[in-house]
A and B are shown apart, each in its own frame.
Chain A
Amino acid sequence: MAYATAAIPQPNQPPRKNWNKDPMNAEEFRKSDYVRKAVARMGGQAFDQVQQFIFTDEPVDPPGERVQATVQGADVRPSTPPAARAVKPKK
């Protein structure tokens, strides 16, 4: 659908300020208020999820190697068409 696909940046295009056609290089983007807020939002939620470990002696079970491998490969992603991957033919 137009409103979904239009949102996907094309390969080799720089990130866009406010997601519009004002180009912004990676360094400007990193220093933007937008990125700072997004990173802080992730940080706050990360704290909520590790808080239990801070106040106990429980060892942290972090999203370690398993995440690293899949962040790079996104192996669980039900890519298009999701139906093809999720609905496995019966043996």
Chain B
Amino acid sequence: MATKKIKEPKEIKITKQQESQMSLYKEKWLKNGLSCDPLDFENAKPALADAYRAAGAEPPRFVFHMQSPIGGAVGSACMKVVAARDLFIEGVDRVRAELPKKLGDDRFVQKARQEYPGDSDPKVAVARAIWMDFWMKEMLQPTESGGIDLTPEAMNGHIQDQVFGSHDCAWVAFYDFFDKVLKVPDVIPLRGLIRLAELCGWWTPYADFAILQDRQEVLKLNEQRQLHCTDGPALKYRDGISLYMINDQCFARHVIEEPNKITVDEIKTEQNAECRRIKRERFDLAHGPGAYLRAIDAKIIHSDVEPFAKGAAPRCLVEDDQGERWLIGTDGSTKRVYYMPVGQDVKTCSEAHKLISGFDESKILNKS
């Protein structure tokens, strides 16, 4: 198989004046990536067409507006049903057939007008009511009968079809600078994608239709720019889809908004050490300092100070009401307290350390 020769890139010389604009582009695209503005649907459509043409495809005839990546995936699932069953033809035929009869039904007309006040023409409102009844029944019936497939495999597949839009700002900033400042012609085909990154959230391109999404409505970060919020969702979309996160760790909603609902079992069974620490911290926040230790009826089996670190914090080995033993250690720099499960036969902090790390702590060298 013949391989295409890739042309050597031309050397691009950057003037001091051009270089000075780099920071402006960085700021511009960081602002875009963090933007919580809704989708600019009308301006995004021509950009979408440009992106399709650049990829050698016809622009999509049907463009939809959804509000989050999950909503976009549900939209893809709907369109898969539409395509598999020619549902647009079936639906239009249904509306055409039922419309005369329904227009003669005063109660139906009144209900349709109340439900769809945006349709000033009652005929359109009635047609929409017939269409929506047909659409909802077809889509929400079981998958085996032809309805949408919302299995994890199907949903993950649809999400993986999505392009990151404004969240593509990291690489888009680079090409935008080369296009606008250095006037590199090879970047011109990317203008559609670049413009979309300015105007919308994630989006899904298919051959005949596309689904554009709003950007996030809420985005909260910590100083390290990790998703982080201790009193609500760190990331929230306009359809309610939310991520509850502390220091980039994802939690169920109650851990953040109703920590009094965190159970001891939930903390004990958490596999991730950092998540377990945060849950325990939230538990104490809801029930008072030391509440978790009291809740597990902790008894101190052994305590010492880590021998290998200067100024190290104390640690202790405790046993809970179930006979499970936990090493409680502190991180000297962050002051965070960790609860690490260890075997029931462990008798000292040092043994617990060996069990967790796999090596004897006497082998640790302190070079500070």
CB distance from A38 to the nearest CB of B (A): 4
Stretch among B58-66, B298-306, B353-361 lining the A interface:
B58-66
C-alpha gap A70/B58 in the complex (Å): 13
Given A3-B167, A18-B253, the answer on whether A39 and B78 have CB atoms closer than 8 Å is yes
The one of A3, A37, A41, A88 in contact with B235, judged by C-beta atoms closer than 8 angstroms, is A3
* B108 located at the interface, meaning its Cβ lies under 8 Å from any Cβ of chain A in the complex: no
State the 4 A-B residue pairs at the shortest beta-carbon distance, nearest first. Answer: A43-B135, A62-B88, A4-B167, A68-B83
* B226 located at the interface, meaning its Cβ lies under 8 Å from any Cβ of chain A in the complex: yes
Given A15-B150, A77-B205, the answer on whether A40 and B132 have CB atoms closer than 8 Å is yes
Give chain A residues whose Cβ lies under 8 Å from the Cβ of B76.
71
A residues bordering B, Cβ < 8 Å? 1-4, 6-9, 11-15, 18-22, 26, 29-30, 34-47, 49-51, 53-55, 60-72, 74-78, 81-83, 85-90
Give chain A residues whose Cβ lies under 8 Å from the Cβ of B57.
76
Given A1-B170, A53-B92, the answer on whether A43 and B131 have CB atoms closer than 8 Å is yes
* B248 located at the interface, meaning its Cβ lies under 8 Å from any Cβ of chain A in the complex: yes
The one of B78, B161, B248 in contact with A2, judged by C-beta atoms closer than 8 angstroms, is B248
The one of B92, B140, B152 in contact with A15, judged by C-beta atoms closer than 8 angstroms, is B152
Give chain B residues whose Cβ lies under 8 Å from the Cβ of A12.
152-153
Give chain A residues whose Cβ lies under 8 Å from the Cβ of B250.
6, 20-21
Given A20-B253, A63-B82, the answer on whether A9 and B152 have CB atoms closer than 8 Å is yes
Other A-B pairs beyond A4-B164, A67-B209, 14, CB < 8 Å: A9-B159, A12-B153, A13-B156, A20-B251, A37-B239, A39-B136, A39-B148, A41-B67, A46-B131, A62-B86, A67-B207, A83-B190, A87-B54, A87-B189
Q: How would residues 120 to 146 of chain B score, 1 for a CB under 8 Å from any chain A CB and 0 otherwise?
A: 000110011001100110011000000
Q: Which of B1-55 contact A (CB under 8 A)?
A: 4, 6-7, 33, 51-52, 54-55
Q: Closest chain A residue to B233 by CB distance?
A: A20
The one of A55, A60, A63, A89 in contact with B79, judged by C-beta atoms closer than 8 angstroms, is A63
Inter-chain contact B92/A67, CB cutoff 8 Å: no
Give chain A residues whose Cβ lies under 8 Å from the Cβ of B237.
19
Given A49-B62, A89-B4, the answer on whether A18 and B241 have CB atoms closer than 8 Å is yes
Inter-chain contact A86/B51, CB cutoff 8 Å: yes
Inter-chain contact A3/B219, CB cutoff 8 Å: yes
Give chain A residues whose Cβ lies under 8 Å from the Cβ of B163.
77-78, 82
Q: Which of B80-127 contact A (CB under 8 A)?
A: 80, 82-84, 86-89, 91-92, 95-96, 99, 123-124, 127
CB distance from B99 to the nearest CB of A (A): 7
Give chain B residues whose Cβ lies under 8 Å from the Cβ of A14.
152
CB distance from A57 to the nearest CB of B (A): 9
Q: Closest chain A residue to B57 by CB distance?
A: A76
Give chain B residues whose Cβ lies under 8 Å from the Cβ of A45.
64-65
Given A2-B227, A26-B150, A77-B163, the answer on whether A38 and B71 have CB atoms closer than 8 Å is yes
